[in-house]
A and B are shown apart, each in its own frame.
Chain A
Amino acid sequence: MEKLIEKYYRPRLPHIWCPGCGNGIVTSSIIKAIDKLGLDQDKTVIVSGIGCSSRASGYLNFDTVHSLHGRALPVATGIKLADPELNVIVITGDGDGTAIGGNHFIHTARRNINLTVILFNNNIYGMTGGQYSPLTPTDSKATTAPYGTLERAFDIAELAKAAGATYVARGTAFHANMLVDVIAKGISHDGFSLIEAVTQCPIYFGRQNKKGDASAMLKTQRDNAVTVEAAKKLSPEQLEGKFKIGVLHQSEAPEYTKQYQAIIDRAQKGAK
């Protein structure tokens, strides 16, 4: 790992994340996946939005964009379509990616453009100090929900699948090695890939909701996550309160930049 830090991180550590925050674990999982696949560092671009997780781009030694709140996907789409040879990886969070960036999320999935999106889900807006997001579970406490949240959370994996994503996976900070594996598969997949990375925010989510410290929250991930394979053998009652990890969905569909290249070829031949 130390060698990977030297190779893939900029000399800007320690990072800004709070003690016990899982973002550092998820970020290193992305790096391990990139290294495992041997991606060309000069041909790999990392685009993020705004929020805690989106700060990751600044620490990573690639061409990186720390874009606008919710807008990583449009910027990433522009980069990928303009230069399809680049590997484009998007780092976003639950607020960034599913609230302010929700529209971009479903449409980018629908287009099936070859981007790999790692959505750090810590169930809260951390950067602004603990407000509820579309992925905050119902009846949670947040600074903007002192009486508990009323809204139901998205199942972002189901949403991505319904919107047309051709690769959907989920991992956790606890299952870090597995997370590396599902991210690597997502990067290798030719199309839009979403990896939901369940991570802990002990300071702004954990404290308000009495979830314990970082270790306790990691144990909760361990205890509530069920692999896709194991889940098949469990009844709905046994799966109550659990969530699935692993590759949740994979399908084949034409990839957008390749389809567009076919249009260029046709237009240049003068065909209609």
Chain B
Amino acid sequence: MAIKTIGKHCKGCGVCVTFCPKQVLGLDALGKITVVDETKCITCKQCEMRCPDYAIFVEKK
């Protein structure tokens, strides 16, 4: 899969990090979305569904 993040859209609310069941995501030093370990992603898309800022998209490769 491919996880695409858009830093410009991200406001760092952390909702994606909270609801990711596999700890794939984190926030960087600036408080923006970052992918910690893409290999753990199960493409459940909970992050994409609940991101209020349209800052993360998950696609099956």
Contacts and interface: CB of A to CB of B under 8 A. Distances in A.
In their complex, do chains A and B touch, with some C-beta pair under 8 Å? Answer: yes
Contact of A28 (B9, B13, B19, B54): B54
A140 to B, nearest CB: 22
Contact of B13 (A20, A177, A219): A20
Interface stretch (A11-19, A183-191, A241-249): A11-19
A81 B12 CA distance: 43
A41 to B, nearest CB: 18
Contact of A24 (B53, B57, B59): B53
Nearest to A15: B53
Interface string B14-57: 11011100000000000000000000000000001111111001
Report, as a range, how many residues of chain B touch the other chain. 20 to 34
A22 interface: yes
A20 B15 contact: yes
Nearest to A17: B52
A56 to B, nearest CB: 12
Interface string A22-64: 1111001000000000000000000000000000000000000
B57 A25 contact: no
A213 B4 contact: no
Nearest to B18: A215
A271 interface: no
Nearest to A25: B52
B50 A14 contact: no
Contacts of B54: 1, 5, 9, 13, 24, 28
Contacts of A177: 49
A13 B21 CA distance: 28
A213 B11 CA distance: 13
Contact of B57 (A2, A14, A19): A2
A13 B9 CA distance: 7
Interface of A: 1-2, 5, 9, 13-15, 17-25, 28, 173-174, 176-177, 202, 213-215, 218-219
Interface of B: 4, 8-9, 11-15, 17-19, 48-54, 57, 59
Given A15-B53, A215-B14, 6 more contacts: A2-B4, A2-B59, A23-B52, A24-B53, A24-B54, A177-B49
